Amino acid sequence: MRNGRFALILLVLLMVLWAPLAIDPWNRADWLLENVLLLLGIAVLAATWRWHAFSRASYVLLFLFLCLHTIGAHYTYAEVPYDAWMQRLTGRTFNSMVGWERNNFDRVVHFAYGLLLAYPVRELLLRTWNLRGFPGYFFALDLTMSSSMLYELIEWAAAAVFGGELGMAYLGTQGDVWDAHKDMALASLGAALTIGALALAQRAAGRDYAAEWAERQRSGRAGEARRQGP
């Protein structure tokens, strides 16, 4: 129950960010498309909460990713003005500091997708299929990579259906024919870094915190079922 309240607090904070950015987005049609998956994701998390409640760490990671997505949806990913923000703060654009030639907010979010969501995915696999050891790490990486590829296919299908300015805004390729490939590669890299860091940290600590969380959840559900009786 405590984790439910924690998740609710994070949802309220997300809505505090989402609501003002929903008032006047740069492209309303693109904003609507971008928010379909966000609202579906929140609905799935809410509907399955009693069956699978994530740990606080996973909820924070999910919250951070959804905050990034909310910002990208408001501006359209290709137009997030991070350069203008940095120039106001430091007098220099961020792109000039790091040598970028395009708006890379979308690439950052794809990298963050793998980096932030690989841990919740592994936690889900531990809870549902009790995948431990190498299979747990491998399939968490595989599922994160696969879902990134699936999103690129969804983007392509949406762009093909809607076409025109809306399709291009949703794709956000900025003229790069290899945009989808690079996005998938960055998501895979982020997931690989998280899974690799987890494996090393847990080996050094001699314990698997995600597996311990999953076991406590299973034990709690089993105890509740026994109390309720046949």
Q: Report CA-CA distances (Å) from 122 to 17, 60, 173, 205, 224.
A: 28, 15, 30, 18, 25
What is the DSSP code (8-state) at residue 174? Answer: T
Average pLDDT, the chain: 90
Question: 196, 134 in Cβ contact below 8 A?
Answer: no
**Mean pLDDT within 155-160:** 89
Give the distance, in angstroms, between the CA of residue 59 and the centroid of all CA atoms in the same chain. 11
Residue 225's pLDDT band (boundaries 50, 70, 90)? very low
d(CA 18, CA 66): 10
Q: What is the dihedral of CA 109, 112, 114, 116, to 10 degrees?
A: -140
Q: pLDDT by residue (tens digit) across 165-194?
A: 888 888 888 889 899 999 999 999 999 999
Report which residue type is found at 60.
V
How far apart are alpha carbons 104 and 7 in whole angstroms? 30
Q: How confident is the model at residue 222 (pLDDT cuts 50, 70, 90)?
A: low
CA atoms within 13 A on the CB side of 222: 6
69-101 in b/e burial notation, b at 16+ Cβ within 10 A? bbbbbbbbbbbbebbeebeeeeeeebbeeeeee
229: confidence class by pLDDT, cuts 50, 70, 90: very low
